[in-house]
Amino acid sequence: MRHLKKGKKFHRKTDQRKALLKGLTANLVIRGKIITNLSKAKETKKKIERLITIAKKQDLTSLKRIKAALPDKASKKLYYEIASLYSKRQGGYTRIIKTSLRKKRNASDLVILELIKEPDKL
């Protein structure tokens, strides 16, 4: 039974799975959008939404929590630049756009995961 088990495994061990999600999240913060498959995008969306909510508090504890979850460059950008953009928004910081592209190797659907650019106008 899978009681209290959250998230996908991606056929990886725990440390490899955490590294994968950390890398996807860091690239999303630095670049603003990434192209990946649907299941990885959904898991990355969960992680980045939590981190942005933490960063919006703008206190020392939130900065330490973000630095523990992301590399230095990505954590600074998230805390100092991105969090201030979403200060008035209550969730929904990212969007998943489905594309018609597929991977050649396993024909999985590719999607675009991006941060919403103009949060105040939505």
- Whether pTM > 0.95 for this model: the answer is no
> Per the domain annotation, does 106 fall within a domain?
yes
> Per the domain annotation, does 11 fall within a domain?
no
> Per the domain annotation, does 65 fall within a domain?
yes
Average pLDDT, the chain: 93
Q: How many domains does the chain have?
A: 1
pLDDT at 4 over 90: no
The model's pLDDT over 33-54, given as tens digits with 9 standing for 90+, comes to: 999 999 999 999 999 999 999 9
Using a 10 angstrom Cβ sphere, with 0-12 exposed, 13-18 middle and 19 or more buried, the burial of residue 62 is: middle
Q: Angle at Cα 108 formed by Cα 74 and Cα 47, nearest 5°? A: 30
pLDDT at 6 over 90: no
The model's pLDDT over 89-122, given as tens digits with 9 standing for 90+, comes to: 999 999 999 999 998 888 899 999 999 987 555 4
User: 46 Cβ partners below 8 Å, 6+ apart?
Assistant: 7
